[in-house]
Structures are given as C-alpha cells and as structure tokens.
Structure 1
Amino acid sequence: MKKLLLISCLLAVAGCSVIKSPSSWNAKPLVIDPSQTHFNAIIAASDGNTLIAQGNSIQTEIQSLLSTARKNLDRTSGGNYGAGLVAAAVGLSNLHSDALLGAGYLAGAHVALSKRLSPIGYMQQLQRSSQAFYCLNQVGLAYASATIKAENISQNTDFTVTDNFTAMGYSSDISSYYQIDLEKFRQYYLRALDLSQQKLDAQISLSTPADIQYQLVESTKKAAASEVEIDSLTDGNAVKDFLIEHEKLESELLACIAII
C-alpha cells in the first residue's frame, strides 16, 4: 500500500512537471512571414529604399521570434526540475524497475520534446538570419550612396567618358543599371527570406547550400578582375566607385546570403 502511495506521488510530481510548462511541449514552429506580408512587399518594391525598409521589418520580426524562442527555452526549466525530483525520489526508494522506467519516461519525454521544439539552435539560426538582412541593407545603402554620387557627376555638363570607358561596355547613363541591379536586390532579399525559413523548418543545423558557395567564389573572382579594369579608367572617382559597386554587387549579396 505504501509503495502504491509513493508511486502515485511520483506520478503526480512528474505530471506537474508536464503541466507546469505545456507551451514548451506544444510550441508552434517559428515562422518569419506567416501571412507573406514581407514576401509580397519585396515583390512589389519599386526602389531600394523599400527593400531596405522590408529588411528592417524582417529584422524586427526576427527579434520578436527570438523573444518567443527564449521564453520557450525558459519554460523547459520547470520540466527539467520535475525530472530531477522524479529521478531523486525513485533513486532513494525501493520501487520496482517498471516504476523507475515509467517515471523517467514521463519526465524525459518532456525534456526531449522541449528541446526539439525550441532548441538553442533555433535562436542561433534566427540571429544569423537577422545578420543576413542587416548585411543586405548595408549593401543597399552603399550602392545607393555610390549611385547618387555617380549621377551627380554624370549630369555635369563637363563630364565626358573616355574611349576605354565605352570600349569596356560601360554606359555613362547611371540609371541604365538601376533596374537590373534592383532586380538582383529583390531576388536576394527573397532568397534570404526563403532560406531562413527553410532552416527553421528543418529544425537541424544546415550548411550553406553548395550552389551559393560556388557562386560566391566565381562572382568574387569576376568582380576582382573587373575592379582592376575599372581602376585603369580616368573617368572620375565617383563614377569608378559606382561601377565597382555595380560589378561586385553579386558577390556582396551572395556573401550576405552565406551568413544564413
């Protein structure tokens, strides 16, 4: 009778450890853009400032998810504490081995589920995604600054381009690059959003996709070669700085994605 009473008490303790933090058991998978608000806004963006604004909004959303992840991790402490009580009580008693297994299962299942649904890896992944969008925004700001300076110079009536400038296929009309480069920005913001969610959904640590690594190496080589050619021009530093930003854009955007 005494053993049955002790078993009942132990099960009650284990049960309390479960009931104490049910939200850590049933924590919903973290979703950055559940209503596709950011996705649609990126698709519709007509300028770089809008994309940067979306990058900031996504970072804000990620910070909110980080807060949720921290709370979920904190809630697991109740279950872990309950598991310790069960293990200690069973260890000090002369209960049948089935009771030991049963109590351990009830407490251990809580811990296992808690770690699966709200691991520290989730928080680290969210932080990497936040850094990636910050990186994309910084690339956008640098590009915008170079664009403004180059446009101011190219609109000057005294500005002319050399034969080498045109021979290398460059245009003095800075705005002619804008739509092409804007589309690159758009695609990389979308890729960052998609890849971030993929890694959260997987709930395991995933390496950077091989295609991104390969593209980054190749685009960096290409940008470096172009920069040497551009430096040989004598068409004004502001214009050359813009062309360098334009040529290395692909590799810089890829480097941001690689952070995820």
Structure 2
Amino acid sequence: MKKITFLLCAFLISGCSVLTAPLSWNAQPMVIDNDQSTYKAIIGASDHKALISQGDSIRTKIQTLISKSRKNLDRTSGGNYGAGLIAAAVGLSSLHSDALLGAGYLAGTHIALSNRLSPLGYLQQLQRTSNAFYCLNNTVLGYVSSAQKASNIVGFTASTQFFALGYSSDFNSYAETDFDKIKQTYLRALELSQEKLDSQISLTLPADVQNQLVNASKEAAKDEVEIEKLTDSDSIKDFLVEHEKLDSALLSCIALI
C-alpha cells in the first residue's frame, strides 16, 4: 500500500512538472524569416547598403529568437525532473507492465518535445547565424571601402603588368558580378541557417561549401602574390586584392553557420 501511495504521489508531482513546466510544449520551431520578407528584400536589394541593412535586420530577429529559445529551455528542467521521479517510482514498484509503459510514455514524450523544440543547440545555432551575418556585413564594408578609394583615383594609368593579369581599368566593370556574388551569399546564409534549425544540424558544413572554400582560398592567395608585384597605386592593389579574395571571404562567413 505504501508503495502504491508513493507511486501515485510521484505520478502527480511529475505530471504537474511535465504539464506546467515547459513552455516548449507550445513552442514553435525557430523560424528566422517566417513571412519571407527578408528573403524578398535581399533579392530586391539594389546596393550594398541595402544588403547590410538586411544583415542587421536578421541579427535583430535572431536576438529575439535567442531570448525566446532561452525562456523555453529554462522551463524544460521541470519536465525532465518529473521524468526522473517517474523512473524512481517505477523502480520501487511492482505495477502492471501497461502502467510502466504509460509512465515511460508520459516522461519520454516530454523529453522528446523538449529536445525538438527548445534544445541548447538552438541557442548555439542561432548565435552562429548571427556571427555569420556580422561577418558578411564586415566583408561588404571592407569591399565597398576599397572600391571607393580605387574609384576616387584621378588619371589612373594602368601598367603593362596590370593588363597582363587580365584586369580592366574600368573598376565599375567588376561591380555587377561582385554584387551578385554578395547577394547570393546572403541568400545562401539565410537558407542554410534555416535548414540547420529545421533539422538541428549544427556540427557539419556542407561538403560543397568546404570544397569551394579551400579552392577559393588557394586562388585568392595566388592572385594576391601577383597583385603585390604590380607597380600601380596601393589603393588599386588593395581593391584588386579585395576583389580576388571576395569568394573566399564570403565562404568563410558561410562556414561560421
């Protein structure tokens, strides 16, 4: 009789813990861009300033999600504690197997929901995404700064070596292609971040990104050596370096996710 009384009390306590403790029961999976407004804004961006603005907007949304996820995580402990009480009670009882199965289901259901909807991994993944967009914004700022300095040079006469490396003295000719690369990377970062949140994959980087990063880094390093040999203006060389390392710099930001 004492065992049954103890078990009933344990069920009552743990049931209350499971049902009242976690907001994660009602939590929604983390969604960075639930109405696709950010995605559409990035696609429609006409300049670097607009992209940076969207990067800042995403980071603001992420901070809200981090706060929400942290609150959900704080409330999972009660449910898991309740599961522990159930386990202890079951260990002291001699109930019918159906009752044991029911107890395990009650505890297990909450643990599964806690792990799916408010794990610590969400907080870590959201922070990685925030770091990635901070990196992208800084990369764009560095590129724009070097491009402006190069375009401000008056009376630039390119050296023979400059043309031999396949460069054009019209710096605007680089702008469209480079801007498209940057825009596509912002979109890829947003997509990849949501994919990882949806599937809770936070440990690996897609193989295609890894391979691209390695190859782009090698090419950028080789080109930078050749650029440094030029006798042209330092501002021109700085821009060419930024242009050549753009692929690897963007991919490095993606690698943070």
TM-score after normalising by structure 2 = 0.91
Contact 1:129/1:196 (8 A) holds in 2: yes
Contact 1:79/1:111 (8 A) holds in 2: yes
Query: How far apart, CA to CA, are the structure 2 residues paired with 1:152 and 1:204?
Result: 45
Question: Which of 174, 198, 203 is the matching residue for 1:201?
Answer: 198
Q: Which residue of 2 aligns with 1:171?
A: 168
What's the CA shift for 1:114? 0.7
1:105 and 2:105 matched:
yes
Q: How does 1:87-166 map to 2 (within 5 A)?
A: 87-91=87-91, 99-153=99-153, 156-157=154-155, 159-166=156-163
- 121-130 or 162-171, which deviates more: 162-171
Query: How far apart, CA to CA, are the structure 2 residues paired with 1:225 and 1:3?
Result: 75
Question: Which of 234, 247, 257 is the matching residue for 2:244?
Answer: 247
1:34 and 2:31 matched:
no
Q: Secondary structure at the match of 2:75?
A: helix
What's the CA shift for 1:109? 2.5
Change (3 A) 1:160 1:205: closer
Could you give the per-residue CA deviations for residues 70-115 of structure 1, whole angstroms, max 9, x where no partner exists? 1111110221232334344555566566545533432333123212
Query: How far apart, CA to CA, are the structure 2 residues paired with 1:3 and 1:233?
Result: 86
Matched pairs, number:
257
Contact 1:199/1:206 (8 A) holds in 2: no
Query: How far apart, CA to CA, are the structure 2 residues paired with 1:171 and 1:38?
Result: 35
- 54-63 or 165-174, which deviates more: 165-174
Counterpart residue type for residue 38 of structure 1: T
- 139-148 or 172-181, which deviates more: 172-181
Structure 2 unaligned blocks of 5 or more: none
Contact 1:212/1:254 (8 A) holds in 2: yes
Contact 1:17/1:107 (8 A) holds in 2: no
Q: Secondary structure at the match of 1:259?
A: coil
Counterpart residue type for residue 25 of structure 2: W
TM-score after normalising by structure 1 = 0.90
- 161-170 or 231-240, which deviates more: 161-170
Identity of aligned residues (%): 63
Structure 1 unaligned blocks of 5 or more: none
Q: Which residue of 2 aligns with 1:82?
A: 82
RMSD: 2.1
Query: How far apart, CA to CA, are the structure 2 residues paired with 1:205 and 1:241?
Result: 35
What's the CA shift for 1:4? 6.1
Query: How far apart, CA to CA, are the structure 1 residues paired with 2:240 and 2:144?
Result: 12
Counterpart residue type for residue 150 of structure 1: A
Could you give the per-residue CA deviations for residues 21-65 of structure 1, whole angstroms, max 9, x where no partner exists? 353123211100001111111101111111111111111111111
Q: Which residue of 1 aligns with 2:60?
A: 60
What's the CA shift for 1:3? 6.5
